[in-house]
Amino acid sequence: MLQIFSQVAITCKDAIATEKFYTKHFGFRRARVAKLPDGQQIVFIKMGDSAFYFEIFQAQEESPIEPAQNDGYQFPSVRHLAFKVDDVDAKLAEMGDDAKITLGPLNFDDFIPGWRTVWLADPDGRIIEISQGFTDEENPPPLEDK
């Protein structure tokens, strides 16, 4: 049976600003718009030629919690979304004022040589990690029960 991670649904204060941010800086493109009976719409944006989408919903109420700080929430939730780039500093320069840095950039050479990361907030305050140099471990240890 085929199983593919296909999408993350995000609710946005300003769906148009969020769509523009991800299309401008991360290569997403509009793939589908679903018009709902109540006049709202769901916009699907797709990352390049991959099978990964953001499903964008317009918020209908204010957030009940404060925006995340640094690299994301410390309680059970989605901590942050992450993108790989060739060069963190070049990506930040390309993004200009749209790069609202919340932490870093930091080097993690002690863990993975060449790994460099920065965290920033998207238009809705979601934390986005941008990293370079992260590679898979050749033989990661197996999962163990505690």
pTM: 0.87
Instruction: List, in order, residues 6 or more apart from 88 with CB less than 8 Å away.
Output: 105, 116, 117, 118, 130, 131, 132
Per-chain mean pLDDT for the chain: 92
Fold type of domain 67-137 = 2,3-Dihydroxybiphenyl 1,2-Dioxygenase; domain 1 (3.10.180)
The CATH T-level fold of domain 7-59 is 2,3-Dihydroxybiphenyl 1,2-Dioxygenase; domain 1 (3.10.180)
User: 96 in the Ramachandran plot: left (φ > 0), alpha (ψ -120 to 50) or beta?
Assistant: left
Would 7-59 and 67-137 be classified into the same CATH topology?
A: yes
What is the structure's pLDDT at 3?
81
The pLDDT assigned to 145 comes to 79
Tell me which residue has tokens 């919340």.
102
Report the SS3 class of residue 128. strand
Q: What average pLDDT does the segment 33-47 reach? A: 92
Give the pLDDT band of residue 75 (cuts 50, 70, 90): confident
Tokens of 107: 């080097």
Please report which confidence band the pLDDT of residue 137 belongs to, taking 50, 70 and 90 as the band edges: confident
Task: Give the residue extent of every domain in the chain.
Answer: 7-59, 67-137
